[in-house]
Chain A
Amino acid sequence: MYGGGTIFESKGYKELSLEDPEKLEAFQARIDRGEKIEPTDWMPDMYRKQLIRMIEQHAHSEIIGALPEGTWITRAPGFRRKLAQMAKVQDEVGHGQLLYSAAETLGKSREEMFNDLINGKSKYSNIFNYPAFTWADSNVISWLVDAGAIVNQTANAKGSYGPYCRALERICAEESFHLKYGHDAVVHLATGSPLQRQMVQEALHRWWPPLMHFFGPSDKISVHTEQLMRWKVKMATNDDMRQQFLDMYVPKIWELGLTLPDENLKKNYETGLWEFTEPDWEEFKRVINGDGPCNKERLAVRKSAEEKGAWVRRALLSPKAQYVQPLA
């Protein structure tokens, strides 16, 4: 579950002007032909570093994203929801595994990525720093955060890096279960008893501001982003993805008679674009930088999982084993 909104430009890569122009041209030509890049191909350092950063953030978002919904895993109401909630959170962990593997093919080990996450050096999707107060919050996440993630991931699946595309192909297929499951649960609440309806309405109001943040602020169109778009690393602008999300899901929310906490939210049929109150980007920055309601807990839990599991790893490490990057 990742919206792409927190990618920062990678740093410390070899300047493009220092790369071999002939290789660079052949690389661009391959992408322009619609061919995927595979791990052992020559690639510019900036491409490699930016992809590692992006895929790594995506992977972290999955395993941290397992926590807000995990909050309700032991309390899901009834067999059907209990099984689905378990499977849904499990899938997020599975997606983390797939994405770490894809990033590893570019030369960064999973352990390094874990350490960077725990030490706060590497970011994850901001939305998971908010708490899931009720069962309905969990349902809203399953439906709408996953919906947002699908918009981003479907775009990225058409990108240029083979291993990332393969991982995303599997992830998107699994997310379609999440989306349907989340929608099913929200519809049950919205059309259920007054208490259920109130629960889901309140949850929706809580999650709307973080959902508007999900794709990140409008892109500054810099030389850097233009380059990433030519290389099919960045596949859509943050604004385009936000528009697509609003277009697909606001009508589905409204048809249930549910409201959203933005009086200005409406579609302008002349421009074909949604209009809304500008999200609070100061809050967005504040939360990304560690001052959200759950940042500390999320990292503490991840860190505790690492520490509690360390004896298992210590026991089974083979002194002869050398780390090997996955092949594809």
Chain B
Amino acid sequence: MNTEALKELLYKMADDQLILGHRNSEWTGIGPLLEEDIAFSSMAQDKLGHSQALYQLLNQLGEADPDTIAFHRKGSSFKNCQFTELPIGEYDFSLVRHFLYDLAEKIRFEMLTESSYEPLAQVARNFLGELRYHELHAITWIKQLGTATEESIGRLQESLDFSLPYALGIFEPSPFEADLIAEGIFEGEEALKAKWLLKVKEVLGQTNLRMPEISLLTPVYGGRMGNHTEYLQPLLNEMTEVVLLDPAAEW
């Protein structure tokens, strides 16, 4: 088993979930509808739970414990895609990001249920149910708002056009793609992206939203290599503010 390849995969998945879960939690208490506020918060908590489980797998592979990994690393060692670190913006952006990211995540976990690395396959199987909920939530909202009024369709379209290059960054190839595929750990980012595109197009096809021509977009890469936007380090500073008051203490 190529442990380096496996760790790289786990780090980027876990970091994505931590950073996006953190971002989405910012809506708690200030969302657009009470009921949606509650649902969105639950999904943010679920994401944190996913990251914790994935960091736990890393811990079993000899890395530090989940709290240390999450709260005591500098920005350049985070492997999340840049899409996840962008500020929450208006609700249209947060919904579109939820839609684009969570569809990819659900497909990724589905693929990983077949992983040759059994602990990862087990984690993927555990979480598949809640990811089905996330997917249903995202698709329902996009279909509703994407067919409603000029204003809502316009807002979603604008967020979609802005988000897609970042969303393509989810699939930034890893230096270990060939190893992961050869060892049956993961079918690879290209395969994931192809399935994701089909699903995104299928959903958008049922709305008044237009899918931009993907081949004309330049994916925003870099996150997987530790290159981030101006937003990640402040996010981490905020997240670790209390922990770092006394890093040795038990909070």
Contacts and interface: CB of A to CB of B under 8 A. Distances in A.
A and B in direct contact, judged by CB atoms within 8 A: yes
Interface of A: 63, 66-67, 70, 72-79, 81-83, 86-87, 89-90, 92-94, 96-97, 100, 110, 135, 185, 188-189, 192-193, 195-196, 301, 304-305, 308-316
B38 A93 contact: yes
B202 interface: no
B48 A82 contact: yes
A73 B21 CA distance: 12
A72 B25 CA distance: 11
Contacts, number: 132
Contact of A100 (B34, B38, B42): B34
B31 A305 contact: yes
A196 B242 CA distance: 10
24 contacts: A73-B26, A74-B26, A75-B238, A75-B241, A77-B243, A78-B71, A79-B66, A86-B44, A94-B38, A100-B34, A135-B251, A192-B250, A193-B248, A195-B245, A195-B249, A304-B30, A309-B33, A312-B32, A312-B91, A312-B152, A314-B151, A314-B152, A315-B144, A315-B148
A19 B38 CA distance: 41
B30 A305 contact: yes
B249 A74 contact: no
Interface of B: 22, 25-26, 28-38, 41-42, 44-45, 48-49, 52, 66-67, 70-71, 90-92, 144-145, 148-149, 151-152, 155, 238-239, 241-243, 245-246, 248-251
A316 B22 contact: no
Contacts of B246: 192-193, 195-196
A261 B92 CA distance: 47
B34 A79 contact: no
Contacts of A96: 34
A72 B151 contact: no
Contacts of B29: 63, 66-67, 70, 73, 89, 92-93, 305
Given A82-B48, A90-B42, A192-B249, A316 B148 contact: yes
B179 to A, nearest CB: 30
A314 B34 contact: no
Interface SS majority for chain B: helix
- Interface of chain A, helix or strand or loop or mixed? helix
A73 B28 contact: yes
A192 B245 CA distance: 13
B251 A77 contact: yes
A97 B66 CA distance: 34
- 3 tightest Cβ-Cβ pairs between the two chains A and B: A309-B32, A315-B152, A66-B29
A86 B45 contact: yes
Nearest to B247: A77
B45 A87 contact: yes
A249 B144 CA distance: 49
A51 B119 CA distance: 54
Contacts of B42: 90
Nearest to A309: B32
Given A83-B45, A308-B91, A315-B145, A75 B35 contact: no
Contact of A135 (B25, B66, B239, B242): B242
B38 A97 contact: yes
Contact of A74 (B25, B49, B66, B250): B25
